[in-house]
Amino acid sequence: MRMAPYLYLPNLVLGGWLFARVSTSIVLPMSASLRGRLAELNAQISEQRRVLDKLERIRSDVERELHATATFPVLTLPPEITTEIFLHCLAPLGSPPCIPGALPVPIVLASVCGLWRSIAHASPALWSKLDVRFDSIPTRVASKPGLVEQLTDLWFCRARTRPLAFGFRSEDKYFPLHRLRDIIHRWSHQMRHIYLDLADRWFDIRALGLHSAAFPLLQSATFDGRADVDATPSPTILFGDAFYFNDFGMPFRAFSSSRFTLPWFQLTKFNGVLENLELFNLTPNLTELTCKFEPDEDADFAVIIHCNLTSLIVRPSDCGDILQYLTLPTLRHLDVSSMESHDSLESFLARSSPPLVSLITNMDAYSDMGHLGGSLLLVLRTLETLELPETSAIHIPFIFQFFTSNPSNLRTLIFKDVEGGALPLVTGSLLTHALCPAADIPTCLGRHQSLFGWHDAWK
């Protein structure tokens, strides 16, 4: 006879209660064991951390003792030598920074250690050059009136009585010209070099009041970007009382004596844009010229002779060949690699008969290799360095064959950015004979003959 279902319930409850009692009696000792093990591990970790902290403190003490007693060779140099090394770390005025936003070199050197900081602070020459990159200054600092001027004064005060080099560039941020003028006027009596670059922002140089400031030590000034002088009834006089002034640059604005005048007879270096040849008549003592020639389309000039120019660099230009108008009998260094056509080079060299020592020319700019050969023949007796940028590999055998057939005084042959693949292996023997006839390569090297650019060619 079957039992009613509700009669099973007491038995089920009783069985569940017994099972729970048995399970609890097994689990509780196991949980207690795990908690004990976990507490033991936490204690061991805390102990290891305490030991590690103690070891780190001991290591720091040992490091401090080592630094206090160790002798580093660079720290044993006389301060005069260390100072000279510091000065070689300074970049040329106006050059772009190697690392954008990097701190100035004197600040970096003074942050290395106490000894270097003392040497840096005791080296006025290290603080005599300041290149202000206004865009790199935080806005919260640059926006405070007078703060840039105060920092400039603090910097130059460390230079004491040393001649100063001051550079200022601003590409995006606006810096009032009257504040820049105040800085220049305050230190004009010590300034030797000035470099200003306001990028694409046009500004009138007269706003800086350079005509009313005294520059007794000034030697060079460069106005980069869009600096200019508005046309006025009479030209603006710049650096009229700068007796040592000899170097002027305005690389991106056309030169005109109707807008400003300089101590022309003192000028020995010039970098700018020429629309005509009046500069050669104004500067009889000019020795170094870097120029971009942009005459009017219908302009025609008579050939002009300049007897003191020794270096000429022609910058890229689409509308002018300045060589056809010049005779330079004392020229020693010539760079025409940026000119589109070099066909006038041969007639220029024939007309000038210069004692040319170095020549940089682009082989692709010749309509006929005969023009290049004729040009080289005219300076073969004096030429020591020949540089050929962006050379095609098919033209290189011509160069080797030329110097093989025509013994010369060539010491350095430079190929840069060679196009068209690797050089033929035969060029090695041709080169040896061309640079140093009847001699092997070690002998050539012993006589200081050199060849650069092979790594570019063999790529």
pLDDT digits (tens, 9 = 90+) for 62-87: 888 887 776 667 777 888 898 999 98
Concatenated DSSP letters of 346-365: HHHHHHH-----EEE--GGG
Calculate mean pLDDT across residues 375-389: 91
Q: Which residue type sits at 245?
A: F
Residue pLDDT, tens place only, 80-116: 898 999 988 888 877 766 666 678 889 998 988 888 8
Q: Which amino acid is at 82?
A: T
By the 8 A CB rule, do 259 and 232 touch? Answer: yes
Burial class for 223, CB neighbours closer than 10 Å (0-12, 13-18, 19+): buried
- 24 has pLDDT over 70: no
Tens-place pLDDT, residues 407-456? 888 898 888 877 765 454 344 544 544 454 443 333 333 333 334 443 34
What is the model's pTM? Answer: 0.73
> Where are the domains positioned within the chain?
76-127, 128-263
Q: How many CA atoms lie within 13 A of 125 on its CB side?
A: 11
Q: Mention every residue, 6+ apart, whose C-beta is less than 8 A from residue 370.
A: none
The residues, ordered by sequence, that sit 6+ positions from 12 with a Cβ below 8 Å of its Cβ are: none
List pLDDT tens digits, range 142-195. 778 888 889 999 999 999 999 999 998 887 777 888 888 999 999 999 999 999
Highest mean pLDDT among 223-227, 253-257, 303-307, 396-400: 303-307
In angstroms, rounded to a whole number, what is the distance separating the alpha carbons of residues 346 and 324? 10
Can you name the residues that pair with 168 across neighbouring β-strands? 132, 196
CB-CB neighbours of 153 under 10 Å: 13
